[in-house]
């Protein structure tokens, strides 16, 4: 259940962040940080496209 909520939050943040890009490394870091019930949240840095 918790993973589903985190995944939904992540996907909604991706869809709402217009004209921005995320690297694969940042996305993987987010998912692995929340793996296994860890209560650690990473804030993804967002780079704006030129």
Nearest-angstrom CA–CA distance, 47 and 37: 28
Look up the pTM and report it: 0.24
The count of structural domains within the chain is 1
**Structural domain of 20:** 2-48
pLDDT in tens, 6-48: 666 666 665 555 445 556 666 666 666 555 554 444 444 445 4
Burial of residue 30, with CB atoms counted within 10 A of its CB: 0-12 exposed, 13-18 middle, 19 or more buried: buried
Residues forming a β-bridge with 15: none
Is pLDDT of 50 > 50?
no
pLDDT of residue 27: 63
pLDDT at 26: 62
């Amino acid at each position: 259940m918790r993973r589903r909520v985190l995944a939904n939050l992540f996907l909604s943040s991706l869809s709402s962040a217009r004209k921005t890009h995320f690297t694969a490394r940042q996305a993987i870091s987010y998912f692995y940080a929340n793996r296994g019930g860890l209560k650690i949240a990473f804030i993804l840095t967002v780079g704006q496209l030129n």
